[in-house]
Amino acid sequence: MKTLKGPGLFLAQFVGDKPPFNDLFAIAKWAADLGYKGLQIPTGDNLFDLDLAATSKDYCDELKGKLAELGVEITELSTHIQGQLVAVHPAYDALFDNFAPEAVRGNPKARQEWAVEHVKKVGLVSKNLGLDTHVSFSGALAWPYVYPWPQRPGGLVEEAFSELAKRWKPILDYHEELGVDVAYELHPGEDLHDGVTFERFLEELNGHSRANILYDPSHFVLQALDYLAFIDIYHDRIKAFHVKDAELQYSGRSGVYGGYQSWVDRPGRFRSLGDGGVDFKGIFSKMAQYDFEGWAVLEWECALKHPEDGAREGATFIADHIIRVTEHAFDDFASSGVDAATNRRLLGLNED
């Protein structure tokens, strides 16, 4: 068995205009002082020179060295924002346009082409940094039709997943050349949001080996999905892990869909680690059972608590949940020490 790595911290919710959150190395020192050992880095916030990292292994080695001096390493690079733009339903064009550079806004085709190239570039940078996984969103074409009313016409969902796979296959094939996995965060708002939709995608891709999963139990809590059984079913495809808490409180006024309420008022909402209802002891046990060897990375999202408090508490929470796996069976002390010949005698298989 293998002991997973951590604690790590996803920086997307912390990057800002004020120190120490406006500079990668300042953030790294802040995180290291809290007890974090790894950083998951978004690639749209100019925290480092992505173009240079794609062409210069020396630059990547220098970047890793500076972070190591501060006591952290890179866990994965993130293209959540850019992956979202690989597939955008027209209903969301205006909302997602600001995710893209100004030059391609208002032009869905150019925006998609830019997103594809960005995601591929991050795959290359991941390789140059010695990383074997990068994390992303799938985007969505069918999400406006997630609830079957009005009745969906036959073939609509199938066509959506066929197109989604068509857009992602060149990216995944390129990642195959690089030896890097794409781990999709299964998330409401994405066409890949649960096990069934991930399976639909895989089927269209003929089981592409580079199409994998970023496991985040919080999104499954909000869908009333069994997040522990999910690990049993899909553990071979889980390549990344967001440690994020959530709660789903039954109400007489609103449910899973949330009634268009703000996050603080929704029955299902994200919480800081330990404040929600996720069974992390069960999750970390299953991760150990299935030899997950990646990082346990905090993604802080909470409707109530201050992010810096969440980050401080989260480092200790993750460290306390990581299971240092045993190197031998607990009952080895009682081993009888018999050999193969004795085993055959015990089974009544003695040769004449």
| pLDDT tens by residue, 100-158 | 999 999 999 999 999 999 999 999 999 999 999 999 999 999 999 999 999 999 999 99
Residues 9, 298 contacting (CB under 8 angstroms): yes
pLDDT of residue 327: 78
For the cut 60, the answer to whether the pLDDT of residue 251 exceeds it is: yes
* C-alpha to C-alpha distances, 35 to 71, 140, 316, 317, nearest whole angstrom: 9, 36, 7, 11
- The runs of H, that is alpha helices, within 181-333 are 195-204, 217-221, 227-234, 280-289, 307-321
Q: How many Å apart are CA 176 and CA 179, to the nearest integer? A: 5
Higher pLDDT, 102 or 334: 102
Residues 255-259 have a mean pLDDT of 96
- Cα-Cα-Cα-Cα torsion 95, 222, 250, 313, nearest 10 degrees, comes to -100
pLDDT of residue 346: 84
Residues 37-63 have a mean pLDDT of 96
How high does pLDDT run on average in the chain? 96
Residues 250-263 have a mean pLDDT of 96
Q: Which domains does the chain have, with CATH numbers?
A: 5-346 (3.20.20.150)
pLDDT digits (tens, 9 = 90+) for 202-216: 999 999 999 999 999
Percent with pLDDT over 90 in the chain: 91
pTM of the model: 0.95
Residues 58-73 have a mean pLDDT of 98
Q: Residue 39: name the closest of 18, 23, 59 by CA.
A: 23
Lowest mean pLDDT among 77-81, 98-102, 272-276, 337-341: 337-341
For the cut 80, the answer to whether the pLDDT of residue 332 exceeds it is: no
Place of tokens 């209903």: 91
pLDDT of residue 340: 84
Residues 14, 51 contacting (CB under 8 angstroms): no
Place of tokens 């995944």: 172
pLDDT of residue 91: 97
